[in-house]
Structure 1
Amino acid sequence: MSKVIISCAVTGSVHTPSMSPYLPITPEQIARDAIDAAEAGAAVLHLHARDPENGKPSADPKLFMEFLPRIKQSTDAVVNITTGGGQHMTIEDRLAPPLIASPELCSLNMGSMNFGLYPMLGKYTSFTHEWEGAYLESSRDLIFKNTFADIEKILEQLGKGHGTRFEFECYDVGHLYTLAHFLDRKLVTPPLFVQTIFGLLGGQGADTENLLHARRIADKLFGEDYQWSVMAAGRHQIPFATMGALNGANVRVGLEDSLFIGKGTLAKSSAEQVRLMRSILESLSLEVATPQQARDILALKGGDLVKF
């Protein structure tokens, strides 16, 4: 690889406010952290929204529109809006923000899956907001739903309807085969941006063998028609991104995926993780992609064609 794209996921829907005082909650905080991450070297900003009153994940398009214009005005980074949303959101909920914003890029989970957050209940003894504990516990008996029909709907409405391209989130090898199915049907077009994800309960474990196996299968299925990226949860974030980069991958960091910058040390921002990742990449003689280079690599429509 000549350039490495750093994606940054600044808040997500996995962690709850009581877990870190640095997790951005309000639109102003999300905008600030996204801009700081872009200035630190992130070419792609992966964005969720939260209720500013209690920090609960939200799919309210009005909240997205409170931070999207500010981010666009302050940075040239590629904006990537989630279609995964959060627990208990319907596909209509999850599609509402990107259908209004018409972004260059959206995440797209490549299948339904168990998404276990409940083990985090053993790490925290109290919560600031009543919803937090119940939210984590509910993941014990929850399936994140993204059926073939759901994926087709997202591809049709966002891909065909808005010229949006996708970060295909693959939590298991089976998700790679699902993506290959849509490629065979010509419902997706290369270059595919394939985000292989490790270390989340319900998906593939954070084992080196899994990372290398995922790469082998992706090579087998997609040949030269894809851009590989690696993301791992929690303490695996930086080591796995580094292993991925050494094997030709782009990388993703951010407080959505890990709240820490080192063992026992909370990251004060996603930008802090981006700076660390960038320093590692550059020490390995790898060059970090600019936003425009990322657009060219991923064949995006351009920031002038979004609606925010």
Structure 2
Amino acid sequence: MRAPRDTVFITCAVTGNLTTPDQTPHLPITPEQIADAALEAAEAGAAVAHIHVRDPQTGKPSMALEYYRDVVERIRAKDSQLILNLTTGPGGRFAPSEDDPSVAGPGTTLLVPERRVEHVAALKPDICTLDLNTMNSGNEVVINTPGNVRRMARVINEAGVKPEIELFDSGDVALMQDLLADGTLAPPVLCSFVMGVRYGFQASPETVLYARNLLPADAQFTAVGIGRAAFRSVAFSFLTGGHVRVGLEDSVYLDRGVLAPSNAALVEKARRIVEDLGGQIANAREAREIIGLPIRISGGSAPRPVAHQLTAKGRIS
């Protein structure tokens, strides 16, 4: 059994794809708001900012490269070390029409895999997510076929970006093992268990222990709780040897019935939980060492020599 780590890093997921402005007035919408939220979360103790973008006019999720670029440039102008983790989740939803389920209905966002990672190829963040789930999600289905995942991973690897593998159920772990076996992914893998989404992993200590024990011994993981499971999952994850994540993507509440005033407030509470349990919070430089990312040169965009180098086959080693 893995013992709790002495030092863990906090990821803050600042806006997400499914949280709506109707749920909280504090949700960052514009590139400036998203960047500011990430920087405030870093000041509170987050070492990683997980970033989605939104249409500044409507507040709805977007995949526009210009918004991603704006957010990244704003953050990098003020913080050279914060680890940037861009999502690649959007573009994978299918909603069958009522009259013909083989035809896409409203809510479908399916795109070719390369389109879903074009911002990663262009901006080369430190990390990007790679979802392995094919599952029911509300009235829609999220589709990530093994072939499409491999196509996305190829672009990610060629960009020299570290994938964070998002796992929503045990079958996703089995797919990850296959991707490691065929060289699509290179160890040590960085992954997260997303718990509390209906029809996927449910949030409990037993779930975290079960999922963790399916991983390779050298894997780094975070157990993420959605909604009311957010803060209990901070404790679950830390106590089982994982890192932690909070943010308005995952939960809008700081306490029962109390809306979080900011992402930074969620990070501050997660930090207190870890420290009260005897742990320490890694800063961004320390988190880079834990994950195996290069240390960026302060005041510039060029990193120090990379911990992972691309092989001749385009895989990270």
**TM-score, normalising length: structure 1:** 0.86
Q: 1:235-250 counterparts in 2 under 5 A?
A: 235-250=228-243
Q: Contact 1:102 / 1:162 at 8 angstroms: preserved in 2?
A: yes
State which of 144, 155, 172 in structure 1 corresponds to 2:153: 155
Q: 1:8-23 counterparts in 2 under 5 A?
A: 8-23=12-27
**In structure 1, how many angstroms separate the alpha carbons of the residues matched to 2:272 and 2:90?**
31
Q: Contact 1:59 / 1:96 at 8 angstroms: preserved in 2?
A: no
> Is it true that 1:289 corresponds to 2:282 in the alignment?
yes
> Is it true that 1:80 corresponds to 2:85 in the alignment?
yes
Q: CA deviation at 1:72?
A: 1.2
CA shift digits 1:141-174 (9 cap, x unpaired): x211211111111111111x11101111000111
Q: Look up the equivalent residue of 2:188 and give its one-letter code.
A: P
> Is it true that 1:270 corresponds to 2:263 in the alignment?
yes
Q: 1:262 to 1:89 in 2, by over 3 A?
A: farther
1:72 alignment partner, SS class: helix
**In structure 2, how many angstroms separate the alpha carbons of the residues matched to 1:226 and 1:251?**
15
2:281 alignment partner, SS class: coil
**TM-score, normalising length: structure 2:** 0.84
2:144 alignment partner, SS class: coil
**In structure 2, how many angstroms separate the alpha carbons of the residues matched to 1:2 and 1:184?**
30
What residue number does 1:6 align with? 10
Q: 1:71-220 counterparts in 2 under 5 A?
A: 71-75=75-79, 76-85=81-90, 87=93, 88-90=109-111, 91-116=113-138, 140=139, 142-159=140-157, 161-218=158-215
Percentage identity across paired residues of the two chains: 35
Q: Contact 1:104 / 1:164 at 8 angstroms: preserved in 2?
A: yes
Q: Contact 1:192 / 1:298 at 8 angstroms: preserved in 2?
A: no
In structure 1, runs of 5+ residues without a counterpart are 117-139
What residue number does 1:232 align with? 225
CA shift digits 1:204-241 (9 cap, x unpaired): 112332122112222xxx12x21121101001000111
Number of residue pairs the alignment of both structures matches: 277
2:190 alignment partner, SS class: strand
**In structure 2, how many angstroms separate the alpha carbons of the residues matched to 1:284 and 1:115?**
34
2:206 alignment partner, SS class: helix
1:194 alignment partner, SS class: strand
Q: Contact 1:164 / 1:301 at 8 angstroms: preserved in 2?
A: no
State which of 25, 30, 43 in structure 1 corresponds to 2:29: 25
Q: CA deviation at 1:178?
A: 0.8
What residue number does 1:127 align with? none
Q: Contact 2:253 / 2:259 at 8 angstroms: preserved in 1?
A: yes
CA shift digits 1:30-75 (9 cap, x unpaired): 0110100011111110000000001110000001111111111222
**In structure 1, how many angstroms separate the alpha carbons of the residues matched to 2:227 and 2:117?**
27
Q: Contact 1:3 / 1:286 at 8 angstroms: preserved in 2?
A: yes
2:22 alignment partner, SS class: helix
**In structure 2, how many angstroms separate the alpha carbons of the residues matched to 1:72 and 1:176?**
33
Q: Contact 1:26 / 1:52 at 8 angstroms: preserved in 2?
A: yes
Q: 1:264 to 1:85 in 2, by over 3 A?
A: same
State which of 28, 46, 50 in structure 2 corresponds to 1:46: 50
Q: CA deviation at 1:2?
A: 3.1
**In structure 2, how many angstroms separate the alpha carbons of the residues matched to 1:6 and 1:271?**
11
Q: 1:18 to 1:93 in 2, by over 3 A?
A: farther
Q: Look up the equivalent residue of 1:20 and give its one-letter code.
A: T
**In structure 1, how many angstroms separate the alpha carbons of the residues matched to 2:163 and 2:9?**
14
Higher helix share: 1
1:17 alignment partner, SS class: coil
